[in-house]
Every structure is written in structure tokens, then in C-alpha cells.
Amino acid sequence: MSFFPEIKNRVPYEGPSSKNPLAFKFYDAKKKVGGKTMAQHLKFAVCYWHTFKGTGADPFGGGSLQREWNSGSPMEVAHKTMEAAFEFISKLGVNYWCFHDRDIAPEGATIAETNKQLAEMVEIAGVLQKSTGIKLLWGTANLFSHPRYTHGAATNPDPCVFAQAAAQVRRALDATVELGGTGYVFWGGREGYTSLINTNLKQEREQLAALMHMAVDYAKKIGFKGKFFIEPKPKEPSQHQYDFDAATAIGYLNEFGLADHFAMNVEANHATLATHSFEHDLVVASSAGKLGSLDINRGDQTCGWDTDQFPTNIYDAVAAMTVILKQGGLKYGGLNFDAKVRRGSFDTADLFHGHIGGMDTFAKGLLIADAMLRDGVLTENIKTRYAGWKSPMGRKILGGKTSLPELEKWADAQGEPPLISGRQELLENILNEYILGIR
Ligand code: XUL
Ligand code: CO
């Protein structure tokens, strides 16, 4: 039986002149770009939670999306959902998926029952991975939906709740390793506070680090060869999250001795909630050698919450692919959608439209970023702008080999420095020329 009859075999690549809404215009998996195929550059992952478990619910109303796979007992639903997921991902031609433990298997009455149900679904996922060739990008534990986590999981005032979270992380790591995932994500939705009036912030941050250290130790024991990722977000559902943005999370890793094991999973909509651009957080992470993976959804500029929309913004895609190309790719991570269709997008075809549009946007972004980097117009400009730092005094400053008095003397000898234009408007025009295809 088919859950997605609108696609018979696979979404085809038909090129930019195609008017077929269920075909790719730019994403051509086998096309070579700078020595690698598009599929190798663009390690897209379909997220299980929004795509297959999403109901369209919002704070003002329950589910609106009726899915054929969403009926029966909780375990029957789990089985049908898994079947639907692998059918969809195969038909889309995406090579990776991501999940939370509770997306793929429901929680039971006891930890033992929960573990049994999870193990059953992991086994099935393993079989489907083998038969389809689809791989796991990363796994994670849902430490935010159950009421016990209302005041935090690792950062809960009650160590019994911490232990529940530890039990979940253990099994989610087991599942990730069994399914060959190359990443494991910590997103701290409830690891934060709603008010400092009842919060010991110092201790909560230490508690979270304790869980992360245990995860690192356990992962080593079970043979995890991948990377841990923190997915920064400033707020929602907590009023303030401890992993606010990439800079905060990198500082946190350094403070608690976790930096060797972790990188960032930067999400577009989280960066904008932190009043940054997506590009900002990508560049902050990458320049610290800590850009591991991306969640590529977008927000809506007119509202201040996490709308998790499919990516259609070509500027963001060009910026993201530029950062990724410059750092030589994503070894352990990829481009996870983490996007959901709107509450009113009732049809399964809408799921295809969202993903196809996102993949085409990033494929075009890759082509533009590659062309710009090869031509070097923007990179050359930056090189020229900072050329003074290659001078003997520039090197001395960066090497820590000078002092305030010596620099005072040198400044005096140089005289007033000239005013040099940053040429921002010109460079923005050049970027547009690439995007509009006239360069
Ligand atoms: C929530 C969010 C999560 C993480 C995984 O804003 O982005 O779905 O990606 O827990
Ligand atoms: Co995310």
C-alpha cells in the first residue's frame, strides 16, 4: 500500500524550464559541482517529527492534518508511520533522516516498556534503512514534551527528573549508534528558565554539563564515532534558554570542558529569534571550527516565534552554502529540514512541495556560492581590505609581540590613516548579479 500515491517512483529532476510542481528544477543529485556531486554537498535530511508526526496543531487549535498512517494503537501508529516515512524519503530522493526517540516509538507505562518499544522500532528502522539505502544523520531525545520536563530535563530542580532524562539519552544514543548516525543533538528547549525568582542559574548550567559529560562517556563506551551537536536557541518554550546562540553555546562548551566533543547544529529560525541572521550564527560557529550541522527552516520576519517554514530564501541559501564550501563541507552533519507545512496545507502533496522547494533553493544556493567563490570577487575584496594585517606590524600585533607604547609610537609615525570605503552597496549589487544570473 502507498501513503503517497502522487509520486509513483521518485521525484524527477527536470531542469529549470520544467513547470512540473513535483519535479526538481535545480537539485540534480548526480551533477558535479567542484569535484563533488550535489548529493554529497547537500546532505539533506528529512525530519521525522514535523513531516510525519506533525498534526498542524497550534496554540489555538488541535490537529488539522489527517494522515492515513495516524490511526490505531500507539504502536500500530508507530509502525505505519515508519513505513510512510521511508516511502516518502525514498520517493523524494533524500539520503538521510533525523528523529527524536519519542517520534519513532511511544512512551510506555514504565522505563522498561518504553525501552522495549523503542528497540522494536529501531530494529524496523534498521531494516528499512538497509532496503532503501537511507541513512541516519542524527538522533536525539525529546526532553521537552512530557509534563515531567516542564521545569527542565537536565536542568530540573529534581534529580529524579534528571535521571529520567539520563535514561532517555542513554537509549537515544543506543538507537543512534545502532542506526549508524553520525551526529547526536542536544536541543535545550526547556533547559532554561521562565523566571529567575525561583531559579538557581549557576547550578542548572552545571547540571546540564554533567549530563553532557555522561553522554560523551557513554557514547565512547558504545562505540559512537560521530559528533555531538548543541542546537542553540534563545527562547521558546523557555523564556530564556541556556544555549541562546552559537557564541553563547561555544562559550558554554569551553567553560565546562566539552569543546572537543561538540559542535553546533545551527538552525536558521533559531538564529533569527536570537536577533541574528542565519549567516551570522553560521559564520560564528564556522570560524570557531564548530559548525557541525544545519537545520535549514526559516522564520517569518513579521512574527517573533519559531514558525519552522520550508526554506525559500535564496540569500540565506547562498550564505549558508558559502560558509559550508569555505570550511570544506560537513563531515558529521548535513542539512536537516526541521520544517513543517502550514496548518492549512492538508495534503500529502504539500509535504513534497515544501521539500522540493527547499532542496531546489539550496541547490541553486550551492551553484551560486560555488560560482562566487571560484570567481573570488567577494573573497578578494576581503583579502584586500585586511591586507595591512600581513605587514610586519600587523603580524606583530596578532602574534602578541608588541605593546601599547610601541603602537603609540608607530601610530604617531604613520600619521592619520586614510578613510577607505567598505563598498557595501557595490558588493551587494555584485551578489545580486550572481543571484539574478547575470554574472
Ligand atoms: C525546536 C527544534 C528541535 C530540534 C531537535 O525548535 O528545532 O526540533 O531541532 O530537538
Ligand atoms: Co531544529
* Predicted pLDDT of residue 143: 98
Q: Which of 137, 338, 340, when mutated, tests ligand 1's pocket best, judged by the most ligand atoms within 8 Å of its CB?
A: 338
CA of 325 to the centre of ligand 1 (A): 25
Could you tell me if residue 10 is inside a domain?
no
Q: Can you give the CATH number for the domain in which 365 is found?
A: 3.20.20.150
255 CB-side CA count, 13 A: 14
* Predicted pLDDT of residue 1: 82
Q: Do 399 and 263 share a domain, yes or no?
A: no
- Residue 103 falls in the annotated catalytic set: yes
Does ligand 1 lie within 6 Å of residue 140's CB atom? yes
* Predicted pLDDT of residue 303: 87
Residue nearest to atom 10 of ligand 1 (CA): 187
Q: Do 294 and 149 share a domain, yes or no?
A: yes
CA of 12 to the centre of ligand 1 (A): 30
Phi, psi of 431 (to 5 degrees): -55, -45
Under 8 Å CB-to-CB from 48, ≥6 apart: which residues?
85, 97, 98, 99, 100, 103, 104
Share of the chain above pLDDT 70, in %: 100
Report CA-CA distances (Å) from 342 to 51, 87, 299, 345: 11, 22, 12, 5
Phi, psi of 271 (to 5 degrees): -60, -45
Three-class SS state of 91: helix
- Residue 276 falls in the annotated catalytic set: no
Round to whole Å and give the CA distance between 24 and 208.
43
Please answer whether residues 91 and 83 qualify as being in contact, where contact means their C-beta atoms are separated by less than 8 angstroms.
no
Q: Do 272 and 384 share a domain, yes or no?
A: no
Q: Do 56 and 94 share a domain, yes or no?
A: yes
Could you tell me if residue 9 is inside a domain?
no
- Active site residue: 101, 103, 281, 308, which one? 103
Structural domain span for residue 395? 378-435
Report CA-CA distances (Å) from 56 to 61, 190, 273, 304, 341: 9, 22, 21, 19, 8
Round to whole Å and give the CA distance between 153 and 163.
9
Round to whole Å and give the CA distance between 42 and 282.
16
Picking from 48, 11, 9, 2, the residue whose alpha carbon sits closest to that of residue 359 is 11
* Predicted pLDDT of residue 81: 98
- Active site residue: 41, 100, 261, 355, which one? 100
Number of domains in the chain: 2
Single residue among 344, 375, 406 that ends a domain in this structure: 375
Strand 240-241 with 192-193, pairing: antiparallel
Angle at which helix 424-435 crosses helix 377-385, to 10 degrees, equals 160
Please answer whether residues 376 and 344 qualify as being in contact, where contact means their C-beta atoms are separated by less than 8 angstroms.
no
Q: Do 400 and 273 share a domain, yes or no?
A: no
Which residues in the chain come in under a pLDDT of 70?
Answer: none
* Predicted pLDDT of residue 301: 86
- Torsion sign (Cα): 124, 129, 132, 134: positive
Q: At 23, list the grid cell.
A: 519535479
pTM: predicted TM-score of the whole model, two decimal places = 0.97
CA of 49 to the centre of ligand 1 (A): 9
Q: Do 318 and 402 share a domain, yes or no?
A: no
